């Protein structure tokens, strides 16, 4: 902790050197966000290295934390780190840039531990090394990308001229800004409903991407396609062809890169398989019961008709 504070102090007191870091990061008050991003990446890298060592059963590496046989997932430690840093930032009165940066670093480590098990929180079961566990890596990539865009000087809904409005806060300008914000929100929602998550998120920083994402074809399995393409088979077929031609190669490359960094998510989801088997047994049981009921009804009808004819 002392080392981190010393590094932050040196960075914040580095003097009026005309460098990109001093102008864009320190000069614009983004040092806490920079420390957060670095700590987040370091925390994610460390925990992924740790779990891969555990998965490979390396003897010299410490295993899972299991006090009394209870496996404590690292998301628990992440929540504790986030609470410590968040509450400290609330309690400390008028914190200095150094204090904010140190707390941001602690928060970044905690956020990395939490998002690394985002899939576990989402599914409420341990899917860490299954295909569903890739959701955690996707969440980490999104967090890193958004923080990096802000550090590079991009801002969400960047086309809005907030400075012009502050200098001339008229009702007309307020209505224009409100309309533009609602348009951004609407286009972002449509883009996300079409299954284009990355386009929707990046579009908050680059408005033309929202326009492209909202007006182009939906992905074939997205909610928009299920609602709007049900009666439009040609459009659905075009979306399916585009998915195979363009998106599948990109997704394959993304998965290879993710698994290079975080390990292979190739274990079967035993819970999901058990659920499918259980549902199939119930379906077969119900089908058999219906068949037996139909047979009994036919026998009763036959006996009843026979008795009536007698």
DSSP for 189-221, please give it: HHHHHTT-HHHHHHHTTSHHHHHHHHHSPPPTT
Spans of all domains in the chain: 1-153
Confidence of residue 274 (pLDDT cuts 50, 70, 90): low
Q: Distance (Å, rounded) from C-alpha 186 to C-alpha 1?
A: 44
Nearest Cα to 118, choosing from 148, 138, 147, 145? 138
Tell me the sheet residues that pair with 267: 130
What's the pLDDT score for residue 307? 45
Q: What is the mean pLDDT of residues 46-52?
A: 94
How far does the chain reach from its first CA to its final CA, in angstroms? 98
Residue 265 burial (10 A CB sphere; 0-12, 13-18, 19+): buried
Confidence of residue 39 (pLDDT cuts 50, 70, 90): very high
Mean pLDDT of the chain: 82
Q: Which long-range contacts (CB under 8 A, 24 or more apart) does 210-213 make?
A: 210/184, 211/187, 213/187
What's the pLDDT score for residue 309? 43
CA 78 from chain centre, in angstroms, equals 16
Q: Which two tokens stand for residue 301?
A: 């009808």
What's the pLDDT score for residue 177? 80
Q: What is the mean pLDDT of residues 84-100?
A: 90
CA 30 from chain centre, in angstroms, equals 24
The angle at the Cα of 115, spanning 1 to 126, to the nearest 5 degrees, equals: 120
Q: Percent of the chain, pLDDT > 70?
A: 78
Confidence of residue 2 (pLDDT cuts 50, 70, 90): very low
- Which residue is associated with the tokens 């899917």? 127
- Which residue is associated with the tokens 């585009």? 242
Rounded to 5 degrees, φ, ψ at 130 are -90, 175
Q: What is the mean pLDDT of residues 255-262?
A: 89
Nearest Cα to 268, choosing from 64, 126, 114? 126
Q: Which two tokens stand for residue 249?
A: 């190669």
What's the pLDDT score for residue 95? 85
Q: Percent of the chain, pLDDT > 90?
A: 38
Confidence of residue 273 (pLDDT cuts 50, 70, 90): low
Residues 6+ apart with CB under 8 A from 2: none
Tell me the sheet residues that pair with 130: 267
What's the pLDDT score for residue 126? 87
Angle, helices 134-151 vs 248-262, to 10°: value is: 90
Residue that wins the pLDDT comparison between 171 and 291: 171
Q: What is the mean pLDDT of residues 120-149?
A: 90
Half-sphere exposure of 230 (CA within 13 A, CB side): 5
- Which residue is associated with the tokens 């890193």? 144
Confidence of residue 264 (pLDDT cuts 50, 70, 90): confident
What's the pLDDT score for residue 107? 97
Q: Poorest-confidence range of 34-48, 65-79, 173-187?
A: 173-187
What's the pLDDT score for residue 113? 96
Confidence of residue 11 (pLDDT cuts 50, 70, 90): low
Q: What is the mean pLDDT of residues 217-241?
A: 91
What's the pLDDT score for residue 174? 78
What's the pLDDT score for residue 3? 47
Confidence of residue 310 (pLDDT cuts 50, 70, 90): very low
Q: What is the mean pLDDT of residues 26-45?
A: 93
Confidence of residue 306 (pLDDT cuts 50, 70, 90): very low
Residue 126 burial (10 A CB sphere; 0-12, 13-18, 19+): middle
- Identify the three-state secondary structure at position 63: coil
């Amino acid at each position: 902790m002392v080392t981190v504070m010393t590094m932050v102090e040196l960075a914040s007191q580095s003097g009026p050197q005309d460098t990109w870091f001093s102008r864009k990061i320190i000069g614009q008050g983004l040092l806490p966000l920079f420390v957060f991003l670095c700590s987040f990446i370091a925390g994610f890298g460390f925990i992924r290295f740790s779990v891969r060592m555990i998965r490979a059963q390396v003897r010299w590496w410490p295993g899972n934390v299991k006090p009394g046989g209870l496996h404590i997932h690292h998301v628990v430690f992440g929540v504790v780190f986030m609470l410590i840093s968040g509450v400290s930032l609330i309690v400390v009165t008028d914190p200095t840039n150094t204090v904010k940066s140190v707390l941001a670093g602690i928060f970044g480590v905690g956020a990395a531990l939490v998002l690394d098990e985002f899939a576990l929180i989402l599914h409420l079961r341990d899917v860490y090394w299954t295909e569903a566990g890739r959701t955690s890596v996707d969440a980490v990539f999104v967090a890193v990308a958004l923080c990096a865009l802000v550090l590079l000087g991009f801002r969400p809904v960047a086309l809005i001229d907030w400075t012009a409005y502050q200098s001339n806060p008229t009702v007309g300008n307020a209505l224009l800004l409100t309309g533009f914000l609602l348009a951004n929100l609407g286009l972002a929602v449509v883009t996300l409903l079409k299954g284009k998550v990355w386009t929707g998120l990046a579009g908050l920083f680059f408005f033309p991407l929202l326009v492209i994402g909202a007006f182009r074809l939906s992905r074939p399995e997205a909610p928009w396609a299920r609602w709007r393409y049900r009666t439009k088979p040609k459009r659905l077929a075009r979306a399916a062809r585009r998915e195979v031609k363009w998106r599948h190669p990109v997704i394959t490359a993304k998965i290879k890169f993710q698994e290079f960094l975080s390990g292979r998510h190739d274990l079967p989801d035993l819970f999901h398989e058990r659920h499918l088997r259980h549902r199939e047994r119930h379906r077969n049981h119900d089908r058999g019961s219906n068949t037996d009921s139909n047979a009994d009804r036919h026998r009763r009808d036959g006996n009843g008709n026979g008795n009536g004819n007698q």
